[in-house]
Structure 1
Amino acid sequence: MTHPLSRRSALLGAAAVAGLAAWERPAEAAGAAGAGGAAAFDAARERWVSLLAGGSYDPAYLEKTRAVEGSANAVLRKMNPVAGRPSLWPDLPLDDPRTGNFNRAYNRMRALALGWATPGTSMHRDPRVAETAAGALDFLYEHAYREGLDRRGSNWYWWEIGVPRALTDTCALLYDGLPQDRLRRWLRPLRHWCPDPERRVSHPGVVETGANRASKAMAVAMRGLLTHDARLVRRARNAVSDLLRRTGGPGDGFYRDGSFIQHDVYPYNGSYGVDYLESVAKLIAMLARSPWEIRRIGNVYDIVDRSFMPFIFDGLMMDCVRGRQISVQGHRDYHSGQKAVEAILTLLEAAPERHARRWGPLVKGWLTRNRAVPYDTVAPLAGIARAEALLADPSVPVGPRMTGTYVFADMDRVVHRRPTWAYAIAMSSERIGAAEAMNQENLHGWYTGDGMTYLYTGGDLTHWNDDLWPTIDPYRLPGTTVDTRGRADLPHGKRRLPPTPWAGGVALDGEYGVAAMKLIADGSSLRARKAWFLLDDAVIALGAGITASDGRRVETVVENRNTHGAHPPLTRGDGWIHLDGVAGYALLDGAEAKVVRERRTGRWRDIDTGATTGGDTTPVSRHYTTIIVDHGVDPRRSRYAYAVLPDASATQTAAYAGRVKVLANNRTVQAVSRDDLIAAVFWRAGSVETAHGRLTADGPCTLLARRDGHRVRLAVSDPSRTADEVRIRLPWPVKSVKEADRGVRRSKRAVKVEVGGSRGHARTAVVRV
């Protein structure tokens, strides 16, 4: 390997060192070695490096090692410092921080450092590469990131999180090849820009939460380890320990039901939440067996179970909780999933038995089934080694997919998981934002929180990540009812909270669920009541009261499926449609559905023009099959009823309409029944006739009732959060309440359920009838 390193080092040194004053060790670090001395700092730092670069060379990972080396070589090859011009690379001029180029520059330095520190690369611990890197860091300190520079309206995140994380990683990876006096100089700006994980320097008064605090804690901890300052490490540890406490809301943090909110009103388990989990898991591993060990970590295991496991399907992170990151070309569902898997594998090493016994088979199942996007194409070397060890462990079986129905009342999300498929619903309300657009990302995410549905099947693990977001028709997202007007790009920071409290649902026995939301469209007179009934083999979708008066057509989108490079076979019958390899769709009210099959072309740049995330302008094309119920222009109390039958055959689809009965579909009640199950949404007090008698509720609620002989299992919630108590009269007279949550009691021959203060969460009971 040959590089013109000596010339570059000389240029870098001449450009950067001039004018740099010697820097004395800060007073805060004096006598900071503390318990364990320097060895404790070095051991923790080396653990961090092993998490990033692996501990030793293994020829089994030659391809991944070459990829790391290739990225590092590209950084070196393109480096071309020119005297008098503030840039290390011609495509990243550093004269205007608003471009974000300085943040990109430090990310490139991290890639170079990773190549240097990774065993098996041709540049591993090459002193010439370390010398070039040191010169580059001098240059960046002088021209891009130091204490006295003016942000000039650039993104605070780059200054306080992006660069600190990349810079501390770079210094840790290159540590043994760097002059220590210069390392301290490069880290000096962090005393100004990232001094405390809990503070936001650029916006005084803002207290950091969630992923931002965890990321800052990583940077502060690493600076402490690199400069042997125990107080910084303790500060980071304490900030993370506080994060592990659940919040009661409103606002950012983890909730008891598994919800995770960032930016006050947005569900973000799959983006900011994953960043949080990754940082916390690595901090726990890095500081283990050190004087600063994070001991209060019990909640992190429960957080994994409640907040992450339900959203991972064969290693993919569901897009319904990835927020605006769905529009970022370099962050697909498998990237987020990989980070979550890596964090879980890191935690697994020390997890309590009750967690490890479940996690090991689950993760092994994900890694085994998902060969569409193999883990080793996106994971770091250390993560791959842990994954390979798990796969090779004969004592850990390949676990099946999780099953269950999960209602996240605190973030308006519902997930229904069956053995071969999963279905998620994204809603919004006066509590939860419909879609976040920030930093010019997610420009066409208008309807992603308006009842959009996400179907995952084991037969196609690339549907959501194969260039879907730039090519799908953003006006026809599955599950939504939309006014077909044209829309402008979502503006930066716009926060839309629909003016209704109605969004949520209820689950029963981990096998059945109900979800419902009142749609109040943005910038339109469109109103609708939307409900989903989640069964063991199907999802029944009902819509009622669909009304608009703007002179435009209104549509409900049953499905909009990315079928990649071709249109698969499609079969139609009387009231049903079957899309080969995906699902069957049965119309339950005799309505006609329109099928559109088209090849669509788009660019990632169309939906993300962000300074550091913006997509490229290369056109990409995909084939789509779209199924639509057309409500016409200015509908008046229109409705729809259809069933989604994942993995069903055409024969099963044709026969399904006889399997379920729609009991009601109006603005007061939406309800279905099948066999021994009744599921209903009461938008207000009302009743519905069933095969067994009348079901009545005297207030708003969602409910599931399943009869087994003389027992009925009952689950009730109030997604509107407006009632104090709901009285429910079942089709069968109630004799007694055998088992019940607090606030459920018998009232004459009915059941009274206290829902006030429940924040939309369920109350369950077993009653004798």
Structure 2
Amino acid sequence: MKYLYVLSFLLLGFSGWGQATGDFKIIMDRIFAGLQAGTNVTTLEASTASLLSSIHADGSWSDIDYSNASTPSGWAPGTHFTRMNTLAKAYSNTSSSYYGNTQVRQAVIHTMHYWLSLDPAPVSSNWFYYAITLPKDIGNALIYMRYGPQPGLDASLESQMITWMTKGVNITTSPGNTGSNLTDIAQHYSLTQNATPLSQAVIETGKTLVVTSGEGIQADYSYTAHGPQLYIYGYGREFVSGVCNIGTYVTGTSYNFTAQQIAVFSSYVRKGFMQVARGRYNDFNVYGRSITRPNTGMADANLIERVKGIDLSTYASEYDAALSRMRGQAAPSYLVNAQHQHYWRTDYTLHQRPGYLFGLRSVSSRTAKSESGNNENLKGYYLTEGVNFIGVEGDEYYNIYPVWDWNKLPGITVPEITTYPVRTSWGVNPGMTSFVGGVSDGTYGVSCYRMNDYSTTARKGWFFFDDEVVCLGAGISSSATQAINTTLNQCLLTGPVTVSDGNNAAVVPSGDYTYAGGTVQWIHHDQVGYYFPSASPLRLRQAAQTGSWSSINAGYASDVISKDVFKLWIPHGTSPANTSYAYVVLPGKNATEMAAYSGSHLSIIANTPAVQIVDNRTLDLWQVIFYEAESFSAQGITLKVDKPCTLLLKNVSTAEVAIVAADPNQTAMTLKVGLSSAALPVMKEVKFTLPQANGTAGSSVEGLINSSSPNYTEPVADSPVTLTTIADTYVRDGATYQQSNYGTASTLAIKNDAEGYKREVYLKFDLSGFNAPLDSAVLKLRVNNANATVPNTTWEFYDVADNSWTETGLTWSNRPLPGGKIGEVKGAVAGTYVTLKITNAVRARLAKDQILTLRVSSSAYGSTTDAQFTARESANASQRPQLTLYPRVEAYDQELARVTSVADAYVQGGASAATNYGSQTILTLKNDASDHIKREVFLKFDLASLPSTPGQVLLQLYVPYAGVSIAQTTWECYEVANQTWTESGITWNTKPSPSLKLGEILGTSAGNFVTLDVTEWVHNKQRLSGGANPLLGSIKIISTYAGSTTDAQFASREQSNAALRPQLIAKAAAQSLPVVLTHFEGKRIAEESIELNWSTAQEKNNRYFQLERSRDAQNFESVYQLSGQGTIQKRTYYQFVDAAKAGTFYYRLRQTHEDGKQTLSRIIAVTSPAPVLTLGPNPTNGWVRLNLNQEPTETVTIDLYSPTGQHLGRQSEQKAIVDFDLSNLMKGVYLLKVRYRDQIQTFRLVRY
């Protein structure tokens, strides 16, 4: 009822009751009737009597603090008008004994005079009370007084009260110009605008009756408020009420809403607002922070009744059925249809069956986490982390919230914190990942949440069928200090709890229970069953829990409340690494039905960090989540996708498969799906054009694969992908600020100044949505503010290896240290954008955890060089930090030139710091705790020998040796600006300093080539050279991981085999070739068999391929010749198995055209797996045994070295077990290198 003043402003603006005629009289009559409708007269009279006994003669009440601007529970002075409104209602209610009562009339007049006499006038620090609540109560009271037996008030007094109603918030500015707030305040500004204020109020409210990308009704008919935050109830309910308050009273008048406006409103109510109800109750997920108010959660039947009154009669039966359920006049299942809805705009899913409602709320980088403003929702930190509502009757969670264990909300996988950070910002707390969404055909669906927050990662999927919801989790890892749990449910305890091991079922009494994995097959409580298809440890607690409303909402009582609670969860322990879970929720089942349930019609085909699939054989339906572009085969079916996606495959075993698809990242333009099966032996494809326009990105599309579909072809690179930060913040130094967090700020401050004034910016991007080969990556930041001398500074960008920081937890004190500097840009003025290419930094993270962190700092020191970048919290999405990834659309397989290093050397610290190693045939690389052991590599090339601006330039190095733990390290490559160093003169003491970081190479085992794309570096050097010849460029390489077994060696330019020397390889785009080779790879499939595979995207005049093999990557022999396809415009696949014995082999393709011209491919290496060697005892005081665990086919060479690298001896054998005696050696640590099959393994051996 609080919006009636919207119209009362307008109607009361007419001076005199007699002037309210025609439409105005109709509207005024309707408002008054609505205000009095449903009044409990007995309660009204009791309240009136109490107020009359406590009011002072001057019209005040002693228990109201009129000077209080704000309290957690509301605005104290506003109570004055609430009471005045009660008195006025009693005075005008014809059924009340106080109707027309002179004492009551005078009391109302006195309350108004008292308010007007207050000096200073009461104020509120919360605009809502001052602009909405107070005007509503005044407007209602003035209307009541006009309908009393002595109509109206003194004209002067009424005019002064109407003036008070106009002291609110303007409808053209935030927060008054959006959603429900607009319908609240539109009218009081209408009073002061023009001669047609009623029309203006209807027009302004009508502007909200549209589908929008901002706050309000969304394209999927969910509702957002306070940013992109789900509020179907809460603000969504206030919006519906506000529209009804106007719509109900203007229907049939000249001020009616348009048919289109009513249609949009009707769709929101029927497809969104009403859908969240189960019987008399609603899914708690849709309330936002108001969940922490007592008695929140009831479906608003009276409001639905009012909507019915202004909607088309076509929908009357739909409303009637809902009203019967909401009022308890029919069962919650009454006329409920089986349907599935995924609201892609708000990351919300509803799955409805006659027997139950299952709700799911998640959060992405596009939507907002649940807010905690006004001291409400004080523990709702995890309310958006995949929270489930499982409703059969609907009341399973009603008023549970004060006693809830808020780290175990239904459905979530999170750290077990006990102190909950409070998000005080309104609607600017976006999620941390973009891969959140779902697919739906209207009846079935699957939803996913790629969680990456709270120092925890998880791939969470929900697979919705008729009788059950299958819940899967994979890749669960965490560096949080707390234990990690996945909660199945936490609801009010109602009735017995039954636990079964599959053979015996028993009702268990109240208490705490711990179950080892495999000891429980199902649990049942309150019409909901939980089935475990695989062994899983469980915790069950059914007991009283206590709390208070004030603990979650400061505006309510601190009285201790106790409720009996059922709580079931899976403990993953502390610091889990790649763990998983699987369980099935069966709502609407009793214990007897659970005992008969086997789940035999379901099969969990996959549950990995890359793909999750559930097969329902009864429905012949596969539900699929691809977290990566992937190919997957099972049960005779092979499925391929070129992008991460969610899929439904209907009639999957037949020759005609209906496919429903969606893109949870909401970035892809197209999606290609390939399918083969027994019914479709040749893989067929369907290509989807994914929705993008008008808020439809992320919605579902349908396609069909059958025997007439095109044969599957490998996808080509797609459009660029633009990502926004999943976390960004700045940090500030100094004693006062170093512990402060600025994660919710809408700008990112950057400054270099005295202590206490320095700020640095941190950015984090989720790269997992990009799955094509990377061509380039461009970072773009908007300069929101800039001081006077900002052009004098340079903003420096560094990569950061540690991605564990959080937006709301990062401070100067705990900030991760940066790695290498990857680039810089000049400071720019406000309103402009700065861009920087960071291709290799992105490429390095794509090869690792797919999370990129950057630090930005300012170089120039000074008080006026500061600036602010726009943060991801900005309401303008186009101004947020962006990273655009451009896929490679060309294959660079035409080799133009190879340039060998003109100088190379490694340097060693400690006692060897003055030693030069320039003449060595190897380049040793190692990071260790002591400089004495640390080595770094330097390379120098003449870039003038390369073609001008080639399509691609690769740095290629050969690894003849690598320590056993080489996979733990990364080789970082840096540009060296100083070219004066020489191969024969460089030492640790004289080494030049590095500058920009060029990129990273993952530590790689011996016998392999490694490459780094240095195209941008070469292009920049060539562009700035002015045609210099020679054009020298130097590179420094370091190892990141400190350890005795992460060392490695590269072949140097002194290596006798020229093919193994350090090289820069220039290439041209493959499109210029008659034959476009798209991939070439080899793998050992048996002891003496290597499988070679290659494919072409197109061929023109291709006569044949020759596969060539080499032992040294220099001298090749032809081992196979295969005819080409001549000229063909589709992808073609080739395969050959080479009978190659153990060891390392190198292969290349020689392609011959019809005119006799030939082209060579790149060289690939295929290495035998390292033998599984064991050594012991270690430590030893004498004899040591080396066991190859297989009969060797070649000689095994064992070399022994001292800690300083001195060679102490060699032993060569050709047998599986080799014994040797170390008793003559001094006590200490020695290195043992075992060479077998072109591979080297190193052991650290202790002699005691």
TM-score scaled by structure 1?
0.80
**Which runs of 5 or more residues in structure 1 are unaligned?**
1-25, 55-60, 373-397, 736-746
Q: 1:472, 1:562 within 8 Å by CA — same for their partners in 2? A: no
Aligned to 1:744: none
The answer to whether the aligner puts 1:193 opposite 2:153 as a matched pair is: no
Q: Letter of the 1:557 partner, please give it.
A: T
Aligned to 2:273: 308
Q: Letter of the 1:217 partner, please give it.
A: A
Secondary structure of residue in 2 paired with 1:414: strand
- CA 1:39/1:273 → structure 2, altered by over 3 Å: closer, same or farther? same
Q: Letter of the 2:638 partner, please give it.
A: R
Q: Letter of the 1:199 partner, please give it.
A: T
The answer to whether the aligner puts 1:261 opposite 2:224 as a matched pair is: yes
The answer to whether the aligner puts 1:407 opposite 2:319 as a matched pair is: no
1:273 to 215, 227, 236: 236
Aligned to 2:1005: none
Q: 1:734, 1:751 within 8 Å by CA — same for their partners in 2? A: no
Q: Letter of the 1:412 partner, please give it.
A: D
The answer to whether the aligner puts 1:44 opposite 2:17 as a matched pair is: no
- Farther off after superposition, 120-129 or 661-670: 120-129
Deviation of 1:371 after TM superposition, in Å, equals 9.1
Secondary structure of residue in 2 paired with 1:579: strand
- CA 1:547/1:27 → structure 2, altered by over 3 Å: closer, same or farther? closer
Which structure features the higher share of strand residues? Answer: 2
Aligned to 1:116: 91
Aligned to 1:173: 144
Partner Cα distance (1:533, 1:169) in 2: 50
Deviation of 1:659 after TM superposition, in Å, equals 3.1
- CA 1:592/1:28 → structure 2, altered by over 3 Å: closer, same or farther? closer
Q: 1:218, 1:283 within 8 Å by CA — same for their partners in 2? A: no
Q: Deviations over 1:637-664 (max 9, x none)?
A: 0111000000213343343343311111
Partner Cα distance (1:243, 1:437) in 2: 25
1:238 to 190, 198, 203: 203
Aligned to 1:384: none
Partner Cα distance (1:159, 1:599) in 2: 41
Partner Cα distance (2:523, 2:10) in 1: 71
2:650 to 706, 721, 734: 706
- CA 1:34/1:244 → structure 2, altered by over 3 Å: closer, same or farther? farther
The answer to whether the aligner puts 1:486 opposite 2:462 as a matched pair is: no
Q: Letter of the 2:569 partner, please give it.
A: I
Aligned to 1:764: 702
- CA 1:420/1:173 → structure 2, altered by over 3 Å: closer, same or farther? farther
Matched ranges for 1:729-768 at <5 A: 729-732=674-677, 749-755=684-690, 757=692, 758-768=696-706
The answer to whether the aligner puts 1:67 opposite 2:12 as a matched pair is: no
Higher relative contact order (CA 8 A, sep 6+): 1
Aligned to 1:742: none
Q: Letter of the 1:276 partner, please give it.
A: F
Q: 1:412, 1:427 within 8 Å by CA — same for their partners in 2? A: yes
Which is higher, the Rg of structure 1 or of structure 2? 2
**Which runs of 5 or more residues in structure 2 are unaligned?**
1-8, 503-519, 708-1248
Deviation of 1:41 after TM superposition, in Å, equals 2.3
Q: 2:409, 2:489 within 8 Å by CA — same for their partners in 1? A: yes
Secondary structure of residue in 1 paired with 2:227: coil
The answer to whether the aligner puts 1:210 opposite 2:179 as a matched pair is: yes
Matched ranges for 1:48-197 at <5 A: 48-54=31-37, 64-77=40-53, 79-81=54-56, 88-99=60-71, 100-143=75-118, 149=121, 151=123, 154-177=125-148, 178-181=152-155, 182-194=157-169
Q: Letter of the 2:342 partner, please give it.
A: V
Aligned to 2:624: 680
The answer to whether the aligner puts 1:332 opposite 2:303 as a matched pair is: no
Q: Deviations over 1:501-520 (max 9, x none)?
A: 12110112x32111111112
Deviation of 1:214 after TM superposition, in Å, equals 1.2
Q: 1:29, 1:229 within 8 Å by CA — same for their partners in 2? A: no
Deviation of 1:261 after TM superposition, in Å, equals 0.7
Aligned to 1:604: 549
Q: Deviations over 1:40-95 (max 9, x none)?
A: 323311201111212xxxxxx79x33234334444444x33376xxx833332111
Q: 2:492, 2:563 within 8 Å by CA — same for their partners in 1? A: yes
Q: 2:524, 2:590 within 8 Å by CA — same for their partners in 1? A: no
2:405 to 467, 473, 481: 473
Deviation of 1:577 after TM superposition, in Å, equals 3.2
Partner Cα distance (1:658, 1:30) in 2: 71
Q: Letter of the 2:476 partner, please give it.
A: I
How many residues are paired up?
A: 665
Secondary structure of residue in 2 paired with 1:554: strand
Secondary structure of residue in 1 paired with 2:346: coil
Secondary structure of residue in 1 paired with 2:408: coil
Deviation of 1:114 after TM superposition, in Å, equals 3.3
The answer to whether the aligner puts 1:664 opposite 2:636 as a matched pair is: no
Partner Cα distance (1:578, 1:126) in 2: 63
Aligned to 1:532: 462
- CA 1:133/1:635 → structure 2, altered by over 3 Å: closer, same or farther? same
Deviation of 1:400 after TM superposition, in Å, equals 1.5
Aligned to 1:16: none
Q: 1:72, 1:114 within 8 Å by CA — same for their partners in 2? A: no
Partner Cα distance (2:194, 2:704) in 1: 58
Matched ranges for 1:382-393 at <5 A: none
Aligned to 1:427: 362
Aligned to 1:569: 497
Secondary structure of residue in 2 paired with 1:599: strand
Matched ranges for 1:721-736 at <5 A: 721-732=666-677
Partner Cα distance (1:259, 1:482) in 2: 27
Partner Cα distance (2:602, 2:592) in 1: 16
Q: Letter of the 2:465 partner, please give it.
A: L
Q: 2:344, 2:699 within 8 Å by CA — same for their partners in 1? A: yes
- CA 1:399/1:689 → structure 2, altered by over 3 Å: closer, same or farther? same
Partner Cα distance (1:246, 1:474) in 2: 34
Q: Letter of the 2:172 partner, please give it.
A: R
Q: 1:314, 1:369 within 8 Å by CA — same for their partners in 2? A: no
Q: 2:662, 2:699 within 8 Å by CA — same for their partners in 1? A: yes
Root-mean-square deviation over aligned CA pairs: 3.1
Deviation of 1:116 after TM superposition, in Å, equals 3.5
- CA 1:27/1:129 → structure 2, altered by over 3 Å: closer, same or farther? closer
TM-score scaled by structure 2?
0.51
Deviation of 1:36 after TM superposition, in Å, equals 8.7
Q: 1:727, 1:752 within 8 Å by CA — same for their partners in 2? A: yes
Partner Cα distance (2:314, 2:11) in 1: 42
Aligned to 1:391: none
Partner Cα distance (1:155, 1:73) in 2: 31
- CA 1:45/1:127 → structure 2, altered by over 3 Å: closer, same or farther? farther
Aligned to 2:582: 641
Secondary structure of residue in 1 paired with 2:70: helix
- Farther off after superposition, 173-182 or 656-665: 173-182
Aligned to 1:290: 253
Partner Cα distance (1:443, 1:670) in 2: 35
Aligned-pair identity (%): 21
Secondary structure of residue in 2 paired with 1:299: helix
1:696 to 631, 636, 640: 640
Secondary structure of residue in 2 paired with 1:333: coil
Partner Cα distance (1:30, 1:569) in 2: 63
Q: 1:117, 1:173 within 8 Å by CA — same for their partners in 2? A: yes
Partner Cα distance (2:10, 2:477) in 1: 68
- CA 1:167/1:300 → structure 2, altered by over 3 Å: closer, same or farther? same
Aligned to 2:490: 560
Q: Letter of the 1:543 partner, please give it.
A: G
Deviation of 1:489 after TM superposition, in Å, equals 4.7
